[in-house]
Structure 1
Amino acid sequence: MHTKAAHNAARHLLAAIACGLAIPGGAAAAQPAMSKAGIPAFDEAMLAPDYWIGRLPAPDAVLLDAPATAAQRAAAYAPGGGFVDVRKLPATLTRDQVLDWIRGAQQQTPVKLAVDDAGHPVGPDTLQVLRDATAAGQVAATAPARYGLAVRRAPLRTYPSDRVFYASLDQPDVESLTAGTLFPGEPVLVAHMSADGRWLLAVTTQGPAWVRADDIAIGTADAVFGYAALPPGRVVTGDHVVTVHTRDLPALSQLDLDMGVALPRADVPPDQPVNGASPYASWPVRLPVRQADGSLAIRPALIRRSADTAPGYLPLTRANIIRQSFKLLGERYGWGHQFDARDCSGLVAETYRSMGLLLQHSSGLQGTSTALKHRVFTAADTHAARVKAVREAEVGDLVVVPGHVLMIIGHVNGEPYVIQDVPYAVFKDPATGALRRTKLNQVSVTPLLPLYADDEKTYVDAMTSLVQPTRR
């Protein structure tokens, strides 16, 4: 039914997919006063991590020790855990399997492929061009699997194309072919090549997707998985860290490393230069490099000692959960890690990855993974029961609604607050009773209970799961 209400509901649903809103319907709580920033019950002091850490009774208590976090990482690759164990995929690929992965790549985003970046509708001809680029008709009956490591932060795509598409031009922050991101050192199985030879169909820990061929170095299974299995010698604990500039090895010069990326140590003589610089004031690490013929080599690189890194995963404490998530505060929203940034699931995944826990690449998987403890909510759960649950939620718990995830950072006067990466936040203006849509487009701190999807349902009433990553 093409009514104004139906049109608005559709817009709200798309925003939900973009980690901004929930699905409509339900009861609402009284609205606290609105700040000048358009957020109710908010004070600028709340933007400091110490504000929340200082409210905790035992902020530095270890919630899960190293064996427990290792067990969680293993469970993430077990059935229902949400991660693909690339090592266990068949070494000989069949045509049916590869074609299934080509189709699977196209399902790696919920965003409709409707218009191009000029606003022209996507018709059958454009879709056929994208399908032809996959070279599905050239898949061999059987072929050996190839393996590789990502050599840089690499965008994943649902089709082998750099073309840009959207569900609508008024949602430019949510690109239709975006399927996620690979990080340096991540292993992949290479299943197929695009028609133009510029893209590889890669099966990653997130599933199948297309990645540019020059972002992957091809090696033997032993070399690829041997590197991936090495213990972390340095873990990135800042929002971004870059390797030291070098002219000697440009591929490893100022390489961007995201929070939670773990790199093996490079054992180098302290008096011998690494890529033209002494290692004595830096941390030597090992990184994959793509050689001229596309093959894999492992080379040392340097990370400044002053950079925000750690010798291993950080202890899983509530103080560290807050500190790590707040390092991303104010970062621009990036659907599927676009714009060198993160989205809602990326925010919480990288926060926990820096402490050794693996969270899935989508809010939906985070809310259902068997590797994480969670409480499921259905239509049978009352508003009062939902409010009680979030008021009792602990720092680090995740509130999952359709298309979005938020993380509890504490309570003020018994009311829960969250950090979230979100395009928009919707609250009811206490002065007028009308909904106020505040464009945040960044990692933000907000109260949870006043958040609305529309005039009928709050986030709490849309909640499908309350995830408890810090508990076993």
Structure 2
Amino acid sequence: MSKRAAPPTHRLVPALAALACGLALATGAAAAPPALSVSGIPALSDAMLSSDYWIHRAAAPDAVLLDARATAAQRAAAYAPGGGFIDIRHLPAPLTHDAVVDWIRQAEQSPVKLAVDDMGRPVGADTLQSLRDNKAANRIAATAPARYGLAVRRAAMRTLPSDRAFYAAADQRDYESLTAGTLFPGEPLLIAHASADGRWLLAVTTQGPAWVHRDDIAEGAADAVFGYADKAPGRVVTGDHVRTVFTPELPAVSALDLDMGVALPRADVAADAPVNGASPYASWAVQLPVREADGTLAFRPALIRRSADTAPGYLPLTRANIIRQAFKFLGERYGWGHQFDARDCSRLVSETYRSTGILLQHSSALQGTTTAVRHRLFTDKDTHASRVEALRQAQVGDLVVVPGHVLMIIGHVDGEPYVIQDVPYAVFKDPASGQMRRTKLNQVSVTPLLPLYADDTTLYVDAMTSLVQPTRR
């Protein structure tokens, strides 16, 4: 997700005319992919939709690329200047009027025009004013103490304090205008302001400022908030979604939705004592933040089934794990800023890497410029040939960043790179007719990379601004 670029129109043209594909797996030879698959993707075979296909092709797939110390150093660098994450514990306090006003302004920035409502009706000046009045900008104090909290559930981040849905056009519902991202259970934040109706808090998160439902945040002392955030992972979610065990005894931690890479500390519970009405012997006990009736922060144990897709810590950073984790999202619908309980292009790669302990930002623009990982920047001085060569030399897990979009390298076939990406459309020249063909994907997809188009005239390779290399020092 990129809040500074317009929603991407992803255009795909076929692999070069002679992308002959003598494919071979470690288990034996495979037939060349068809020039055009039945799904409308060029140079793709069904075998390529399996993570094993790409793991078998990878060089030393199980070799650890960055050890635990290097991974921890990368996480620290993500919060350093240029890393792209906001270290909220070091924001100046007390809060000033001007700082809060600026956060409100930053929160409202969105690339998606607010033009029609969920009934397709044009949005008038009165509606816009009503939305902005709820920001209560006239109630900002000259100074205020810094307050902190933790997200207690998966929570929507909004550009304005409203649940109403708006779009750029009635037929463009894949991009909701007020969507600003998602907070995950246990994420720390600074509480800067409250809406006029009292239902929303302006939260400065590690991703930036946004409006969040008050009920999704528990407020606590800084020591409690950051002490929880600093705890070592007891269980890391390695599936696309995992839920805590249902419990009517404590609804606040019942069937809580946990996304890939969410890390929760271990809860110290007796092996023979029930947790929320159930024995913990067949589950993992984790500690979760909860919101008390008065809005204050507390911590309670919850259970995650042992059969659920989790790990006792971050997964080793290997090529096999990168591929395996990314493919757990294959076929998931495109979800701008986590719309539809899904992910967009930048969240696909950030959650894949988060399960290995590597932090990548929530937008493709930040992923392409962060100083927390190694990357190569491209300008108009780089030739087409040098760009193509860089992609052919790219390794599994490298990220190709173009304006408004990011793709992940999963391997090569006859030297040509293939990617996994969360992409709305594939547009390409039909190999038989030579005519442009538009295939709607709107999901996490596997495609060839060369040559992709950023627009009607510019190849993705020529629009590439950065080749990010999170697996290399």
Sort the TM-score into its range (normalised by shorter chain): over 0.9
- Report the alpha carbon displacement of residue 451 of structure 1 after superposing the two structures with TM: 2.2
> Which amino acid in structure 2 is aligned with residue 185 of structure 1?
G
Tell me, in whole angstroms, the C-alpha distance in 2 between the residues paired with 1:70 and 1:44.
Answer: 38
1:18 alignment partner in structure 2: 7
Tell me, in whole angstroms, the C-alpha distance in 1 between the residues paired with 2:166 and 2:197.
Answer: 20
State how 1:141-290 maps to structure 2 within 5 Å: 141-290=142-291
Segment drifting more, 117-126 vs 46-55? 117-126
Q: 1:91 aligns with which of 67, 87, 93?
A: 93
> Which amino acid in structure 1 is aligned with residue 79 of structure 2?
Y
Tell me, in whole angstroms, the C-alpha distance in 1 between the residues paired with 2:436 and 2:470.
Answer: 33
2:368 alignment partner in structure 1: 367
Tell me, in whole angstroms, the C-alpha distance in 1 between the residues paired with 2:59 and 2:85.
Answer: 34
Aligned-pair Cα RMSD in Å? 1.8
> Which amino acid in structure 2 is aligned with residue 467 of structure 1?
V
Tell me, in whole angstroms, the C-alpha distance in 1 between the residues paired with 2:49 and 2:7.
Answer: 23
Deviation string for 1:407-457 (max 9, x for gaps)? 000001111000001111221112222221211111100000132234422
CA contact (8 A) 1:428 1:450 kept: no
Scaled by the length of structure 1, the TM-score of the pair is 0.94
2:298 alignment partner in structure 1: 297
> Which amino acid in structure 1 is aligned with residue 77 of structure 2?
A
CA contact (8 A) 2:7 2:111 kept: no
- Report the alpha carbon displacement of residue 178 of structure 1 after superposing the two structures with TM: 0.4
| SS of residue paired to 2:219 | strand
| SS of residue paired to 2:453 | coil
Scaled by the length of structure 2, the TM-score of the pair is 0.94
Segment drifting more, 434-443 vs 112-121? 112-121
- Report the alpha carbon displacement of residue 385 of structure 1 after superposing the two structures with TM: 1.2
- Report the alpha carbon displacement of residue 459 of structure 1 after superposing the two structures with TM: 1.4
| SS of residue paired to 1:54 | helix
1:128 alignment partner in structure 2: 129
Label 1:27 to 1:339 Cα distance change in 2 as closer, same or farther (>3 A): closer
| SS of residue paired to 1:125 | helix
2:442 alignment partner in structure 1: 441
CA contact (8 A) 1:260 1:351 kept: yes
| SS of residue paired to 1:405 | strand
1:418 maps onto 2:419 in alignment? yes
CA contact (8 A) 1:426 1:454 kept: no
- Runs of 4+ that moved beyond 4 A: 26-29
1:10 alignment partner in structure 2: none
2:402 alignment partner in structure 1: 401
- Report the alpha carbon displacement of residue 163 of structure 1 after superposing the two structures with TM: 1.1
> Which amino acid in structure 2 is aligned with residue 275 of structure 1?
N
| SS of residue paired to 1:436 | strand
| SS of residue paired to 1:171 | coil
State how 1:29-178 maps to structure 2 within 5 Å: 29-30=16-17, 33-107=35-109, 109-178=110-179
Tell me, in whole angstroms, the C-alpha distance in 1 between the residues paired with 2:139 and 2:15.
Answer: 56
Segment drifting more, 169-178 vs 448-457? 448-457
Tell me, in whole angstroms, the C-alpha distance in 2 between the residues paired with 1:292 and 1:101.
Answer: 28
Label 1:454 to 1:98 Cα distance change in 2 as closer, same or farther (>3 A): closer
CA contact (8 A) 1:130 1:159 kept: yes
- Report the alpha carbon displacement of residue 123 of structure 1 after superposing the two structures with TM: 3.1
1:5 alignment partner in structure 2: none
CA contact (8 A) 2:14 2:430 kept: no
Tell me, in whole angstroms, the C-alpha distance in 1 between the residues paired with 2:402 and 2:276.
Answer: 47
Deviation string for 1:121-158 (max 9, x for gaps)? 33322221111010000111111111110010000000
Segment drifting more, 453-462 vs 139-148? 453-462
- Report the alpha carbon displacement of residue 20 of structure 1 after superposing the two structures with TM: 4.2
Tell me, in whole angstroms, the C-alpha distance in 2 between the residues paired with 1:366 and 1:395.
Answer: 17
1:308 alignment partner in structure 2: 309
- Report the alpha carbon displacement of residue 386 of structure 1 after superposing the two structures with TM: 1.1
Tell me, in whole angstroms, the C-alpha distance in 2 between the residues paired with 1:435 and 1:384.
Answer: 24
Structure 2 stretches lacking a partner, 5+ long: 20-34
CA contact (8 A) 1:435 1:454 kept: no
> Which amino acid in structure 2 is aligned with residue 345 of structure 1?
S
1:352 alignment partner in structure 2: 353
- Report the alpha carbon displacement of residue 166 of structure 1 after superposing the two structures with TM: 1.1
| SS of residue paired to 1:97 | helix
| SS of residue paired to 2:52 | helix
Deviation string for 1:253-278 (max 9, x for gaps)? 11000000000000111010000011
CA contact (8 A) 1:260 1:350 kept: yes
2:387 alignment partner in structure 1: 386
1:450 alignment partner in structure 2: 451
Tell me, in whole angstroms, the C-alpha distance in 1 between the residues paired with 2:82 and 2:116.
Answer: 35
Deviation string for 1:48-85 (max 9, x for gaps)? 00000001230000000001010000000011110000
Tell me, in whole angstroms, the C-alpha distance in 1 between the residues paired with 2:115 and 2:17.
Answer: 39
CA contact (8 A) 1:266 1:286 kept: yes
> Which amino acid in structure 2 is aligned with residue 361 of structure 1?
H
| SS of residue paired to 1:418 | strand
- Report the alpha carbon displacement of residue 27 of structure 1 after superposing the two structures with TM: 13
Tell me, in whole angstroms, the C-alpha distance in 2 between the residues paired with 1:394 and 1:442.
Answer: 23
Tell me, in whole angstroms, the C-alpha distance in 2 between the residues paired with 1:95 and 1:452.
Answer: 45
CA contact (8 A) 2:14 2:451 kept: no
> Which amino acid in structure 2 is aligned with residue 342 of structure 1?
R
How many residue pairs match? The answer is 456
Tell me, in whole angstroms, the C-alpha distance in 1 between the residues paired with 2:258 and 2:242.
Answer: 5
Tell me, in whole angstroms, the C-alpha distance in 2 between the residues paired with 1:464 and 1:150.
Answer: 34
> Which amino acid in structure 1 is aligned with residue 104 of structure 2?
I
Deviation string for 1:161-210 (max 9, x for gaps)? 01111112221101111000000000010000000000000000001000
